[in-house]
Amino acid sequence: MILIMFGAPGVGKGSQAKILSEALRIPHISTGDIFRENVANRTELGRLVKVHMDNGLLVPDEMTIGLIMDRIYNADCKSGFILDGFPRTLSQVEHLGRSLKAEKRSIDTVVNITLDDAKIIGRLTGRRVCPSCNLVYHLAYNKPHNVGRCNKCSSNLVQRVDDTESTIVRRLQVYHAQTKPVLSYCRDRYVVVDVVSEDDIDDTTRNIFRSLGLAAIGTSDEGSQYMRLSNGCA
Ligand code: AMP
């Protein structure tokens, strides 16, 4: 299954992609996470992308497309993958479609998560992330068990440099100008499901699973939420 998590920054694409990735056992590929990892490891790519990211602008296509094309041809993507934060431009979605077609594959579903810009600003200013395992929290809606600490690895949570109000406003402008046209492009070619981003993450998850024809069934041995396809595929 090839899924695209689509939506403005702050709608919860990453959190939902992680849950789906675990349930469907296919990789979650986040361009933002890949770029941030490169910035943290001070790689050449990290040095080049940092200025764009810090200013809420898109990283140029020539640094983004090749990276994702290489990643999706890895063996672990054979049964599918979930893209989060890609495609964000028409050139990216066209390139992705062409590459998949050459392999006789296609995007199965685009999950479009929606939320008002005003609510997004509130969400992003309250967002905190774990710099070690990338888990995402919110000061009001998704609090960690211990204040300021990651539930999974106990690292100190941080605020992303691009989660300040002025940068968020720029990121939303970029989303409406450059990324939103990708949605119309996808509506003409692929299955797009629209899901409202609820304040309670679990409600959004339930709605996404329902839209995809999946059903939540219980808890895994590791204690994490585990879900199974209603058609018995996972
Ligand atoms: P995200 O974590 O998805 O919000 O991405 C953080 C930042 O990484 C974005 O604001 C962009 O600067 C950059 N970025 C992530 N994905 C892309 C992409 N597909 N195209 C261009 N820039 C991207």
Q: Give residues (CB < 6 A) around ligand 1.
A: 9, 31-32, 35, 52-53, 56-59, 64, 85-86, 88, 92, 162, 171
For a mutational test of ligand 1's pocket, the pick from 36, 38, 39, 88, i.e. the residue with the most ligand atoms closer than 8 A to its C-beta, is 88
Task: Decide if pLDDT at 232 tops 90.
Answer: no
Instruction: Pick the residue whose CA is nearest to atom 6 on ligand 1.
Output: 32
Task: Decide if pLDDT at 231 tops 90.
Answer: no
Q: Which pLDDT belongs to residue 47?
A: 97
Note the helical H segments in 114-164: 117-125
Average confidence (pLDDT) over 224-231: 44
Token pair belonging to 64: 């983004």
- 3 state DSSP class of 104: coil
* Long-range pairs of 209-214 with CB within 8 A, sequence gap ≥ 24: 209/23, 211/111, 212/3, 212/109, 212/111, 214/23, 214/24
Rounded-to-integer distance, Cα 3 and Cα 110, Å: 6
Contact 92, 67 (CB under 8 A): no
Q: Which atom of ligand 1 is nearest to the CA of 87?
A: 19
Task: Decide if pLDDT at 137 tops 60.
Answer: yes
Task: Decide if pLDDT at 234 tops 70.
Answer: no
Average confidence (pLDDT) over 2-14: 97
Rounded-to-integer distance, Cα 98 and Cα 72, Å: 13
**Residues 6 or more apart from 59 whose CB is under 8 A from it?**
31, 35, 49, 52, 53
Task: Decide if pLDDT at 230 tops 90.
Answer: no
Average confidence (pLDDT) over 138-165: 94
Q: What is the pLDDT of residues 178-192, one digit of tens each?
A: 999 999 999 999 999
Task: Decide if pLDDT at 173 tops 70.
Answer: yes
Q: Which pLDDT belongs to residue 226?
A: 44
Q: Which pLDDT belongs to residue 211?
A: 94
How confident is residue 21, by pLDDT bands cut at 50, 70 and 90?
A: very high
Q: Which pLDDT belongs to residue 149?
A: 97
Query: Strand 81-84 and strand 127-129: pairing?
Result: unpaired
Average confidence (pLDDT) over 204-228: 68
Task: Decide if pLDDT at 229 tops 50.
Answer: no
Task: Spell out the domain ranges in the chain.
Answer: 2-115+165-229
Superfamily in which the 2-115+165-229 domain is placed by CATH: P-loop containing nucleotide triphosphate hydrolases (3.40.50.300)
For a mutational test of ligand 1's pocket, the pick from 5, 58, 120, 174, i.e. the residue with the most ligand atoms closer than 8 A to its C-beta, is 58
Among 225, 188, 232, 230, which residue's Cα sits nearest to residue 212? 230
pTM over 0.85: yes
- 3 state DSSP class of 18: helix
Distance from the Cα of residue 226 to its chain's centroid: 19
Q: Which pLDDT belongs to residue 216?
A: 58
Average pLDDT for the chain: 91
Average confidence (pLDDT) over 7-15: 95
C-alpha dist (Å) from residue 212 to 1, 188, 189, 209, 230:
11, 19, 17, 5, 10
Q: Which pLDDT belongs to residue 134?
A: 87
Q: Which atom of ligand 1 is nearest to the CA of 68?
A: 19
**Residues 6 or more apart from 34 whose CB is under 8 A from it?**
67, 71
Q: What is the pLDDT of residues 59-82, one digit of tens each?
A: 999 999 999 999 999 999 999 999
